[in-house]
């Protein structure tokens, strides 16, 4: 991440938090050398709402550097969230998440799951929402957290965070559709 100076435009600071996988690979040893606790989470983050802010802020409190994996547009399509999704393109979604002061890094991934990305990052803490089960070890179970096995094998921990009740992108999308 580029250090803050008064001469650097705010948008450039935000953009500097969006990493390619290759750039992230170069940054990870710096954080590890500085004994930073790395936290990873992922999602589509299509329409940012209070539930996302609450979740990401709590995830950031679990360590020193919060790395957020964002499904690329192609990846969102693989998840069968509907023909209208994603509602915002991947660059917009990445920029919005990177604008949050408690997010250290954002990285897009094209795969259906962040399994490979988690294997590269090797976070100290892997975080997902409470619709998953941090103790589930059966990869075929819907509540299994992708990458949890490799994180645990490397000595990391897996946590789930409660969602803020009443906030979801699907609910917002439905409300918009029914208001017309």
| Amino acid 69: pLDDT | 98
How does strand 125-129 pair with strand 157-161?
Answer: parallel
Residue-range definition of the domain harbouring residue 78: 10-178
Q: Give Cα separations from 158 to 50, 110, 124, 130 (angstroms).
A: 23, 23, 9, 12
Q: Give the per-residue pLDDT at 171.
A: 79
Output the domain CATH number for residue 43: 3.40.50.620
Q: In angstroms, rounded to a whole number, what is the distance separating the alpha carbons of residues 7 and 145?
A: 42
Residue 168 domain-assigned?
yes
Q: Is residue 78, in this structure, part of any structural domain at all?
A: yes
> Is 30 among the domain residues?
yes
Residue 4 domain-assigned? Answer: no
Q: Is 61 domain-assigned?
A: yes
Say if 50 falls within a structural domain: yes
Per-residue pLDDT at 3: 65
pLDDT for 5 = 57
Please check whether residue 166 lies inside any domain of the structure. Answer: yes
Residues of the chain below pLDDT 50? none
Task: Classify residue 2: in a domain, yes or no.
Answer: no
Domain count, the chain: 1
């Amino acid at each position: 991440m580029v250090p803050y100076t008064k001469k650097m435009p705010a948008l450039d600071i935000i953009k500097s938090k969006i990493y390619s996988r290759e750039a992230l690979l170069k940054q990870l040893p710096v954080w590890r050398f500085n004994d930073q606790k790395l936290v990873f989470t992922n999602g589509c983050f299509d329409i940012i709402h209070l539930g996302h802010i609450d979740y990401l802020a709590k995830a950031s409190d679990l360590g020193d550097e919060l790395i957020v994996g964002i499904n690329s547009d192609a990846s969102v399509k693989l998840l069968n969230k509907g023909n209208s999704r994603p509602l915002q393109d991947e660059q917009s979604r990445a920029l919005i998440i990177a604008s949050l002061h408690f997010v250290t890094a954002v990285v897009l991934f094209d795969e259906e799951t962040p399994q490979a990305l988690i294997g590269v990052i090797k976070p100290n803490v892997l975080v997902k929402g409470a619709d998953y089960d941090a103790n589930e070890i059966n990869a075929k179970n819907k509540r299994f957290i992708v990458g949890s096995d490799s994180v645990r094998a490397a000595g990391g921990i897996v946590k789930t965070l409660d969602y803020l009740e009443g906030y979801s992108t699907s609910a917002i999308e439905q409300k918009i559709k029914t208001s017309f």
